[in-house]
Chains A and B, each alone.
Chain A
Amino acid sequence: MDGLDRFLNTFFNGAIFARYLPDMLAGVWVTIWLAAAVIALGLTLGLLLACLRSYGNRVVNLCIIVFADLGRALPPLVLILIMYFGLPGLGVRLSGPLVLILVLGFVLAAFAEEIFWAGLTSVARGQWEAGRATGLGFTQTLIHVALPQAIRLAIPPLVNRVLAISKMTALGSVIGVSEILAVASTAQSFTGSAAPLTMGAIAYVIVFLPLVILTRILEHRYAWKV
């Protein structure tokens, strides 16, 4: 019993939980708005690029493909370190949160572009023909006919990717952004206890479990349709 007590005291220390609760709530708030900014930037840019790609300009498409490939092939932490530690050498000093939002936003845009594009190419050719045959222009057919269907198809994989990249806001702790993990690490070194880490993990579960459950719901919703 002694061992279990010590374990509980180390990882689930109520006094420490109580003391760091306000800090942790502030960290949760930072994580949430960082994630929201990343999602807004990433999805908007990704959707725009996918639409642009459908016009079929060779040079433009090559640029989009290279961008999407780089965003998917490079580890985000590498980009974060280059921007945060490298750019000041050129006199460009970006804040930690800004670097995080830009890098993760671009990475999400790269994935989102590929997913939206896969959605667009999955829309049946007859849908385009029906739109064009009734006198709609290319852009009108894209916006009113193809895109609504493509976005619907894209939602399940997109939610998975949004979840994965939102979680990467934890990388902010490396460049001094005081989100959940940073708060937990700081508290851990002050208290010499593992309890803040437990608290951080619990905070992440509370923030992100709803998204995980959303992926399950979408999976079932779409499974029934088939």
Chain B
Amino acid sequence: MTRPMLELVGLNKRFGDLTVLHDIHLRVGQGELVFVIGPSGSGKSTMLRCCNRLEEPTSGSVLIDGADITACSPRALNKMRLNLGMVFQGFHLYPHMDAVGNVMLAQVKALGRSKDEARARALEMLDRVGLRHKSDAMPSALSGGQQQRVAIARALALDPKVMLFDEPTSALDPELVGSVLAVMKDLRTSGMTMLVVSHEMGFAREAADRVIFMDGGVIVEEGQPEAIFTNPQAERTRAFLSRVRG
């Protein structure tokens, strides 16, 4: 395996008595795309949110390019988070700013770039997701797929080492899913390290290096996409796959 960019070591998350994540170990190598599947409530989104401490892990650590994000001060945390781009199921674009403003904000305020520099970079990123012509549009004037691509541009503009995708297409109308997946494929080709939680099995087969199946807060099984999809070892994986295939 290449140098690990993202490493989860013995990660646990409990809400009161409820154990959501139990002893998760996961390494994502540089340029690797790891795809996470599993039934709802299996803890996959929580795992993703623990990576940038939107959710505080109960114990265990998360290393980003070797640096421990779980052991840093609040100020350092903001800097560390710049290394992790996150894309949410609900987009969460800022409704009071136009597309380019959304992509510029953290560049200026968290990264300290000048406004001109940030704008140039923002336009470049919007171009990359195919939305340069929408740079002045307010989020309410964009379709769901366009909003999600702006959100991807917002994360990319900060030059992250790893991109986290939390069900990026679940809130989209079916005909808009393709445009977002195309952007993700393009990212993959350019060598971005990616951890993706999603139900798009076709995309996983096509683009993932590894697929992880989670259930009940643990990693049940992992392997090559072909192996997992055609010949799952664990009974729980088989049951899940037959359910989602219908």
Chain A positions within 8 Å of B, measured between CB atoms, are 124, 126-127, 129-138, 140, 144-145, 148-149, 152
Contact = CB atoms under 8 A, between A and B. Distances in A.
Interface in B57-107: 74-75, 78-79, 81-82, 84, 86, 88, 90, 92-96, 105-106
A135 B54 contact: no
Interface in B114-172: 151, 154-155, 158
Contacts of A135: 78-79, 81-82, 106, 110-111, 158
Contacts of A145: 94, 105
Most chain B CB inside 10 Å of its own CB: which residue of A124, A127, A135, A149: A135
B198 to A, nearest CB: 18
B193 interface: no
Nearest to A134: B106
14 contacts: A126-B90, A127-B94, A130-B93, A130-B94, A133-B84, A133-B88, A134-B106, A134-B110, A134-B155, A135-B79, A137-B78, A137-B110, A145-B105, A149-B94
B110 A136 contact: yes
A150 B105 CA distance: 18
A118 to B, nearest CB: 18
Nearest to A138: B74
Contacts of B155: 133-134
A132 B54 CA distance: 8
Given A134-B110, A134-B155, A136-B110, A152 B96 contact: yes
Contacts of B86: 130, 133-134
Contacts of A136: 78, 105-106, 109-110
A137 B75 contact: yes
Contact of A149 (B88, B96, B154): B96
Is chain A's binding surface mostly helix, strand, loop or mixed? helix
B52 interface: yes
A126 B167 CA distance: 14
Contacts of A129: 54, 88, 92
Nearest to B164: A133
B166 to A, nearest CB: 10
A136 B151 CA distance: 15
Interface string B5-19: 000000000000000
A148 B88 CA distance: 21
A118 B109 CA distance: 26
Given A126-B92, A133-B52, A134-B110, A144 B105 contact: yes
The 3 A-B residue pairs with the shortest CB-CB distance in the complex, in nearest-first order? A134-B106, A135-B110, A130-B92
Given A134-B158, A135-B81, A135-B158, A127 B92 contact: yes
B69 to A, nearest CB: 12
B47 to A, nearest CB: 15
B110 A140 contact: yes
Contacts of B106: 131, 134-136
Q: Which of A126, A134, A137 has the most CB of B within 10 A?
A: A134
Given A134-B106, A152-B96, 14 more contacts: A130-B88, A130-B93, A130-B151, A131-B105, A133-B52, A133-B81, A134-B82, A134-B154, A135-B78, A135-B82, A136-B110, A138-B74, A140-B110, A145-B94
